[in-house]
Amino acid sequence: MSTTGDSEHGWEDERMHDGDQPGLEPADDAGGTVDFLYLVDRLEELVGVGKRVPFSHRVMVEEEEFLAIVDQLRVTVPNDIRQAQRVIREREAIIIQAQDEAAKILDVARQQAEYIVSQQGVLNEARQRGEELLQQVEVAHRRSIGQIDDYAIQQFTRMEEAMQDGVTIILDAVREASTTLDQAKRHVGQ
C-alpha cells in the first residue's frame, strides 16, 4: 500500500493495488477543503474494506488512514459552518436589496400619488393605487424572504444530518477499534 504525502490539497492520491485498501481522493469544494460527506463515505469504505475479525462482527482498519480522515473531518466541519454563515450573509444582502427596491417603488408611488392629488383630480383613485402598490411590494417582499428562509433551513438541516451521521460513524468506529484493541491485548496476554 502506498503512503500519503503532501500535495496541493494536503493529501496525495492513493490507488487500489491488488488487495490494498483504496486511498484518499478528496473532492475539493470552492474553499479547497475536503467535502464532509465524502469523508463520511471514506470512513464507511474504510470499514467496508477492513479485515474481518473471525467469529465476530468486528472489522480491523488501518489506523493511520482512519486518523487521517478524522483529522480532515476536524478541518471540514468548521468550513461547513463558515459556508452556512456565508449563506446567512447572502440572505441578509438579498433582504437589504429587496428593502431598497421596495423603498424605491414606494417613492415612485408617492410621487405619482402626489402628482395626481396636486392636479385636483381623483384623490380617492390616487390613494387606492398607492395602497395597491404598497400591497404588491409587501407581498413580493414577504415571498422573497420566505423563499430565502426555506433555502437556509434546508441547507442547515442537510448539514446537521450529515454532521450527525458523521459523528455516529466516527463514534462507532472508535468504539469498535477500542474493543478490538482490548481483545487483542487480552489475547496477547494469554
> What nine digits make up the cell of 8?
496541493
**Residue 26 CB contacts under 8 Å (≥ 6 apart), including other chains:** 9, 10, 11, 34, 35, 38, 72
Distance (Å, whole) CA 79 – CA 22: 25
Residue with cell 459556508: 83
C-alpha cell at 12: 496525495
Domains of the chain: 36-172 (1.10.287)
Q: Give 128 or 93, the one with higher predicted confidence.
A: 93
Average pLDDT over residues 22-50: 69
Cα separation, 101 vs 103, in Å, equals: 5
Confidence of residue 120 (pLDDT cuts 50, 70, 90): low
CA 69, CA 44: separation in Å to the nearest integer?
A: 11
**Least confident span in 3-17, 34-48, 62-76, 123-137:** 3-17
Does the pLDDT value for residue 32 go beyond 60?
A: no
pLDDT for the residue numbered 20: 39
| pLDDT value at residue 104 | 93
* In contact, 158 and 166? CB cutoff 8 Å: no
Is the confidence at residue 97, as pLDDT, over 80?
yes
Fill in the DSSP letter of residue 20.
P
Q: Of 93, 97, 134, 95, which Cα lies nearest the Cα of 112? A: 134
Task: Identify the pLDDT of residue 34.
Answer: 58
Q: What is the pLDDT of residues 145-180, one digit of tens each?
A: 778 777 878 888 888 888 888 888 888 888 888 888
Helix (H, G, I), strand (E, B) or coil at 59: strand
